Amino acid sequence: MAETLEKHIGHYFKGHERLSKQKLVGSIKKDFPDWSDNTINMYLSKLKKEGIINTPSRGIYEIDSHTLFQPNISIKLKRIFNKVKREFPYISFCIWDSVWLNDFMLHQPFKHYIVVEVEKDACESVFSFLSETMKNVFLNPDEDIFNHYIRNLDEAVIIKNMVSESPLTEVQKVMVPRLEKFLVDMLIDTALFSAQQNEKEFIMRSAMEKYTLNELKMRRYAIRRNREKEIENMINIISAK
CATH of the domain at 51: 1.10.10
In a domain, 40, yes or no: yes
Q: Name 118's bridge partners.
A: 93, 161
Last residue of a domain, one of 63, 88, 114: 63
Domain count, the chain: 2
Last residue of a domain, one of 38, 63, 88: 63
Please, is 135 exposed, middle or buried when counting C-beta atoms within 10 Å of its C-beta (0-12, 13-18, 19+)? exposed
The whole-angstrom separation of Cα 180 and Cα 185 is: 9
The whole-angstrom separation of Cα 35 and Cα 30 is: 10
144-147 long-range contacts, CB within 8 A, separation 24+:
146/191, 146/192, 146/194
In a domain, 164, yes or no: yes
Q: What is the pTM of this model?
A: 0.74
Write down the pLDDT at residue 132.
Answer: 96
Number of Cβ atoms within 10 Å of the Cβ of 79? 10
Residues 59 and 104 in one domain: no
- Report the b/e string of 10-35 with b at 16+ CB within 10 A: eebbeeeeebeeeebbebbeeebeeb
Write down the pLDDT at residue 241.
Answer: 63
In a domain, 69, yes or no: no
Residues 50 and 148 in one domain: no
In a domain, 70, yes or no: no
Amino acid at the residue 118 = V
Residues 58 and 119 in one domain: no
Write down the pLDDT at residue 209.
Answer: 81
Write down the pLDDT at residue 108.
Answer: 82
Write down the pLDDT at residue 79.
Answer: 97
Write down the pLDDT at residue 174.
Answer: 95
Residues 30 and 83 in one domain: no
Number of Cβ atoms within 10 Å of the Cβ of 184? 26
Write down the pLDDT at residue 184.
Answer: 94
* Dihedral pair phi/psi, residue 217, rounded to 5°: -60, -40
Q: Which domain holds residue 41?
A: 2-63
Residues 116 and 181 in one domain: yes
One digit per residue, the tens of pLDDT, for the chain of length 241 reads: 556 677 777 778 777 778 899 999 998 899 889 999 999 888 888 888 776 787 867 888 887 655 678 899 999 999 999 999 999 999 999 999 999 999 899 888 878 899 999 999 999 999 999 999 999 999 999 999 998 999 889 899 999 999 998 999 888 899 999 999 999 999 999 999 988 989 988 998 898 888 877 777 888 899 999 988 888 888 777 776 6
- Please give the helix or strand (H or E) that residue 137 lies within, else none: strand 137-139
Answer yes or no: are the C-beta atoms of 166 and 187 closer than 8 Å: no
